[in-house]
């Protein structure tokens, strides 16, 4: 019985560590060489059925705000997401949370038409053309997929991609393996769609 317990504990720790590593790796994938200068921090929305930002969107806003560089000459927060699951757009709900709850007072742009990650990026592009650095913030695997989409849609802008601050060791620890597996599945689906 003791060996089984030890094996189960070791396997559980292994899965958690793999989840950490996979999310850390995703946070470093598809980055450009941009440093310094003005920036846009793009926060991707998550399906929100209620009239207030849900837990995932609140976390994404916090990750976006901690990604803002206080030394940048200009920072723009771009919040993305249409009304996919409820009466209000994800972008508007996140904006309300960012300004009223988190006290954000900087430049703010709402992209309220998108209904998918691909559209998040496509519809945000007009707000990214005049900045030196672009940070895309979401769960690390989701943000990595979005950076890949930007590389497909606008290679010139993708060269300006810089790391956000969405990855933190230990944050979301029990769920990171799930996020990593979902990210792998999304990449495989996208690759198969490209091949077909």
Q: What is the CATH number of the domain that holds 172?
A: 3.40.50.620
In angstroms, the CA 12 to CA 18 distance is 10
Is residue 195 over pLDDT 70? no
- Residue 189: domain span: 19-195
The pTM score is: 0.85
- Examine residue 8 and state whether it is found in any structural domain, yes or no: no
The torsion angles phi and psi of 138, rounded to 5 degrees, stand at -170, -160
In angstroms, the CA 90 to CA 83 distance is 6
- The pLDDT of residue 187 is 64
- Examine residue 80 and state whether it is found in any structural domain, yes or no: yes
- Examine residue 9 and state whether it is found in any structural domain, yes or no: no
Q: Which residues of 119-130 are buried (b: 16+ CB within 10 A; e: fewer)?
A: bbbbbbeebbee
Q: What is the pLDDT of residues 71-123, one digit of tens each?
A: 999 999 999 999 998 899 999 999 999 999 999 999 999 999 999 999 999 99
- Examine residue 5 and state whether it is found in any structural domain, yes or no: no
- Examine residue 66 and state whether it is found in any structural domain, yes or no: yes
Is residue 194 over pLDDT 80? no
Q: What is the pLDDT of residues 10-26, one digit of tens each?
A: 777 888 787 888 888 88
**Is-contact 43 80, C-beta < 8 A?**
yes
Structural domain count, the chain:
1
């Amino acid at each position: 019985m003791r060996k089984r317990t030890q094996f189960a504990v070791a396997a559980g720790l292994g899965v958690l560590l793999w989840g950490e590593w996979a999310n850390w790796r995703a946070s470093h994938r598809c980055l450009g060489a941009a440093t310094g200068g003005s920036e846009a921090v793009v926060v991707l929305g998550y399906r929100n059925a209620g009239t207030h930002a849900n837990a995932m969107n609140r976390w994404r806003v916090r990750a976006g705000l901690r990604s803002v560089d206080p030394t940048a000459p200009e920072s723009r927060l771009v919040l993305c997401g249409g009304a996919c699951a409820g009466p209000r757009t994800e972008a508007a709900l996140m904006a309300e949370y960012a300004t009223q709850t988190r006290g954000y007072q900087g430049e703010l742009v709402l992209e309220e038409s998108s209904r998918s990650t691909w559209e998040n990026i496509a519809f945000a592009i007009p707000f990214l053309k005049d900045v030196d650095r672009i940070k895309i913030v979401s769960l690390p695997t989701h943000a990595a997929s979005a950076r890949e989409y930007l590389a497909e849609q606008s290679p010139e802008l993708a060269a300006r991609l810089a790391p956000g601050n969405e990855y933190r060791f230990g944050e979301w620890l029990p769920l990171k393996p799930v996020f990593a597996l979902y990210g792998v599945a999304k990449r495989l689906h996208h690759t198969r769609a490209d091949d077909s």
